[in-house]
Structure 1
Amino acid sequence: MRIAIDLGEYFTPAWKISAGALEYETLSRVTAGHEDVNILLPHSSFIAAEDKDPSSWDGVILREPRPELNIPQVLISSGYGKEHVSVTTNNHEIGRLAGAQFVSMGLRSLAFFGWDYRPPSVARWRGFSQYLESREIEPVFIHLGKYKKPWEVLPKIPKPCGILAFNDNKALWLLSLCKELGLEVPRDVHIISVDNSPACMESTPTLSSIAIPFALIGYRAAQLCEKMVNGEAVESIQIPPSGLIIRDSVMVEKGDMRSAASVAHYLRTNLSYPIQMEDIARRSSISRRRLERMFRSAYGASPIAYLRELRLEQAKVMLRSSDAPLKTIVEKCGFSNTIHLCHIFKRTIGLTPMDYRKAHSNNP
């Protein structure tokens, strides 16, 4: 079975999506015996010429429909109707997450910077605006390419303000506009973007951004495409964003940031111990409710959810890079017992720990 990933040469997240699909190819062979699943990358310079020919494909993962191919297709973009199977991020939740962050900072002058006709942008705006309206805040829509120009609208928005940009590229443009207008980020304008691309760390100031699990999107898209090629009925999937990564474009309370960093360090260095939320709050000398709100603001997750993710990632590292028995991994990573470890692996990645180790035995 030959499944192609045809997302174009210049689509930035394509390599992450492709990596997720290739991981599905590897794991499906090891765990389910799907020896005939082959993921093709038509835009790769290393692929054989015949593999670039759509007539040789059994299924394809695309950004937009191509009915002329007449093969099963899975889209990684939304807005093309229910008749098309898609695997996308939950854009409504992206908007809600940004709105919640701004509200937690006490901001009430808020705006969205994007398109009013592209489905992902519209969904992010709706999640953003609906959350804010439920808290009696009326956000502004700064349109891209229509109506009033951004440089005419931005100076009129009361400061300090918070702006959710559609993606990192638009946020970088917004940073430049703020500089031209004499507005300081984050003193006058707080900016949150989407995609968490490497450019976020290269800008000045660095960009706070909502991460999208592109690799998981690729993994699930390959999984659905295989089922479609086999004639199975499938439904579209929406995957929630990974979380908000706080950087310098958003100013949060300095004391809270130090507390969040301290808590995160404590969790990273004490994985093997049984840690409860009460223990963390007692160590931080602040209330549990304020601690959870502060930590979620800084890391996009509660302390306990963050700890679970740390433990899972450490267990993955040990399974890939060592021959340590499960009992040792359980002890080192803080799981209750091997049953708990197996349950977490099956629930999160669909494999037992030993299946995961076998799949990565040649790929540490």
Structure 2
Amino acid sequence: MKPEVLLIFLTRFPECTQMLAGITQYQRSQELWSVFLDDEARAERDPAWLRSRRWKGVISRHTTPVLAKTCATLDIPLVDLNDCPRFPGVPKIRPDNVTIGHLGAEHFLERGFTHFGFCGFSGQGWAEERRDGFLEALRLAGQDAAVLEVDYPGELTPAWDARQTARLVQWVQHLPKPAAVMACNDLRAIQLVRAAQTTGLLVPEEIAVLGANNGVARCELVYPPLSSVAANPFQSGLRAAEWLAQLMAGHPLARDDERIDPVGVVTRLSTDILAISDKHVAVALSFIREHACRGITVDEVVTHTFVSRSLLEMKFRRVLGRSPQAEIRRTQMAKIRQLLVETDLPLKQIAEVTGFEHTEYLSVVFKRFAGISPGEYRKRSRSGR
């Protein structure tokens, strides 16, 4: 009979489902356990619930003192995936938050920004580690950043969200532009995008915004879509399963506190730009990013920016090294790549939503940019995920 293992994960959180995918992969390769998923996290607060079955091991994303104490009393191996301070004697796996901050700073430095900010939560170790990593990487490059931190409320409400957006409005107005701001997580970054737009600032042309955790649904719901540093919850789940198997077999762990490296920055429109001080180019880029996929022309861009075509062409080549037409195509290609990788839409529908009248022409243009056909790009991208 397979040993019974308890998994405590609130599946409404995207990182939890990805951690479970890592555990699932380990399970499929080993076929070791009979697994029960506590997706209401009742075991974290109810010792009687935990005692109701003879668990041989527990992996928890929501570890509490009650859970840690009960597992210790019952001599049940527990692996903790919560990004919070350690419980004595409980092995912990968590993101490398300092490296997440480093990646955010490097992402902005590569784009030529010289004015930076960080928005976080005070008193939260994970957020402060991300802040420290961001500031450290900037200082190594001879730069610094404005920092705004607020208390984390524990329970997120619309009223709290509105107050934070209003507070960020005051803060972003005083940042020198163009500015590059990293937030401790995607929620905080979305508040920052709203605040910037409330003040009339262009995102990313005047303020580029980067989140962390890469909750895809959250990042895609905001406009412009939010760039984010992707942690690696899948690897965290896989590693936790490996550790629990060792503990259940009676083998000691080589170490009991491991940091998992992030995957990298997933670039979306909120940072997909170089630092640009030329107002005409910034306005033109904002217009292109918003409307390129409806098949706009350079003349429409010129009309929107209130300068002559020749002057706009000159400014684009000086600032970006490419023409407005090339930027329109580049924006369309980025959207096509995203749709090929993240959706199962047929090429005909992708052409319709990215401004191409004929799929044949889309294929020709895409192959010129990417070097391979759209179908081959989709196949290679998915085989590599």
Judging changes above 3 Å, is the alpha-carbon distance between structure 1 residues 83 and 158 closer, same or farther for their aligned structure 2 residues? Answer: farther
Instruction: After TM superposition, give the deviation of residue 84 of structure 1 in Å.
Output: 3.0
Label 1:119 to 1:145 Cα distance change in 2 as closer, same or farther (>3 A): closer
1:59 aligns with 2:57: yes
How many aligned residue pairs are there? 259
Q: 2:171 aligns with which of 143, 149, 153?
A: 153
Aligned with 2:106: secondary structure? helix
Question: Is the Cα contact below 8 Å between 2:169 and 2:198 reproduced in 1?
Answer: no
**Any conservation in 2 of the 1:25–1:38 contact (CA below 8 Å)?**
no
Shift of 1:311: 7.2
Distance in structure 2 (CA, Å) of the matches to 1:83 and 1:312 = 41
Residue in structure 1 matching 2:101, options 95, 101, 105? 95
What is the rounded CA distance, in whole Å, between the counterparts of 2:175 and 2:91 in structure 1?
40
Aligned equivalents of 2:197 and 2:30: distance in 1?
A: 50
Match of 2:231 in 1: 212
Q: Which runs of 5+ in 2 are unaligned?
A: 41-47, 153-163, 275-319, 341-378
How has the CA–CA distance of structure 1 residues 145 and 155 changed in structure 2, closer, same or farther, with 3 Å as cutoff? farther
Report deviation, 1:129. 0.4
Superposition deviation, residue 85 in structure 1: 1.2
1:188 aligns with 2:206: yes
How much does 1:142 deviate? Answer: 1.2
Q: Which one of 241, 265, 270 corresponds to residue 249 of structure 1?
A: 270
Do 2:205 and 2:273's aligned partners in 1 also have CA atoms closer than 8 Å? no
The equivalent of 1:337 in structure 2 is none
| In structure 2, distance between residues paired with 1:195 and 1:164 | 12
**Structure 1 residue 207, shift from structure 2 partner:** 0.8
In structure 2, how many angstroms separate the alpha carbons of the residues matched to 1:145 and 1:119?
12
CA distance in 1: counterparts of 2:271 and 2:14, whole angstroms:
24
- Structure 1 residues 151, 145: closer, same or farther in 2, change over 3 A? farther
**Over residues 204-240 of structure 1, what are the superposed CA-to-partner deviations in whole Å (9 max), with x where a residue is unaligned?**
1011111122122111112212222222222222111
Aligned partners of 1:25 and 1:39 also within 8 Å:
no
Deviations 1:109-150 (A, max 9, x none): 111111121111111111100110111211121112389943
Code of the residue aligned with 2:246 in structure 1: it is: K
Preserved contact between residue 87 and residue 238 of structure 1 (Cα < 8 Å): yes
> Which has the larger displacement, 122-131 or 18-27?
18-27
The separation in 2 between residues aligned to 1:40 and 1:19, in whole angstroms, is 14
Q: What is aligned with 2:316?
A: none
In the alignment, the residues of structure 1 paired with residue 9 and residue 224 of structure 2 have an alpha-carbon distance, to the nearest angstrom, of 31
Q: Distance in 1 between matches of 2:68 and 2:93?
A: 18
Q: Give the Cα separation in 1 of the matches to 2:273 and 2:107.
A: 10
Q: Is 2:189–2:209's contact at 8 Å kept on the other side of the alignment? A: yes
Name the residue aligned to 1:39.
35
Structure 1, unaligned stretches of length 5 or more? Answer: 45-51, 269-309, 317-364
TM-score (norm 1): 0.63
Distance 1:231 1:100 in 2: 43
Structure 2 Cα separation of the partners of residues 53 and 41 of structure 1: 13
Q: Max radius of gyration: which structure?
A: 2
User: What is aligned with 1:24?
Assistant: 26
Question: For residue 41 of structure 1, what is the amino acid of its counterpart?
Answer: L
Q: How far apart in 2 are the matches of 1:209 and 1:315? A: 20
| 8 Å Cα contact 1:143/1:149 also seen in 2 | no
Aligned to 1:111: 117
Alignment partner, residue 314 of structure 1:
383
The aligned residue for residue 299 of structure 1 is: none
1:232 and 1:80, CA in 2 relative to 1: closer, same or farther beyond 3 A?
farther
Separation (CA, whole Å) in 1 of partners of 2:382 and 2:168: 42
Q: Report the Cα distance in structure 1 between the residues aligned to 2:380 and 2:35, rounded to whole angstroms.
A: 31
Asked whether the 8 Å contact 1:61–1:76 carries over to 2, the reply is yes
SS at match of 1:41: strand
For normalisation by structure 2, the TM-score amounts to: 0.60
CA distances 1:29-59 after superposition (whole Å, capped 9, x unpaired): 2xxxx3xx22321227xxxxxxx94222222
Deviates more, 1:208-217 or 1:82-91: 82-91
Over 3 Å counting, the alpha-carbon distance change for 1:246 and 1:255 in structure 2 is farther
Question: Equivalent pairs: percent with the same residue?
Answer: 22
Q: Name the structure 1 match of 2:295.
A: none
Please tell me whether the aligned partners of residues 117 and 145 of structure 2 are also in contact (alpha carbons under 8 angstroms). yes
1:74 to 79, 86, 89: 79
Correspondence list, 1:1-364, <5 A = 1-8=3-10, 10-29=12-31, 34=32, 37-43=33-39, 53-55=49-51, 56=53, 57-62=55-60, 63-65=62-64, 66-70=67-71, 71-81=76-86, 83-145=89-151, 149-197=167-215, 198-234=217-253, 235=255, 236-253=257-274, 258=330, 314=383
Query: Is residue 144–residue 150 contact of structure 1 (8 Å, CA) maintained in 2?
Result: no
Cα RMSD of the aligned pairs, angstroms, is 3.2
What residue number does 2:297 align with?
Answer: none
Contact 2:122-2:151 at 8 Å conserved across structures: no
CA distance in 2, matches of 1:312, 1:157: 38
Classify the secondary structure of the residue corresponding to 2:14: coil
Task: Say which SS state the counterpart of residue 113 (structure 2) adopts.
Answer: coil
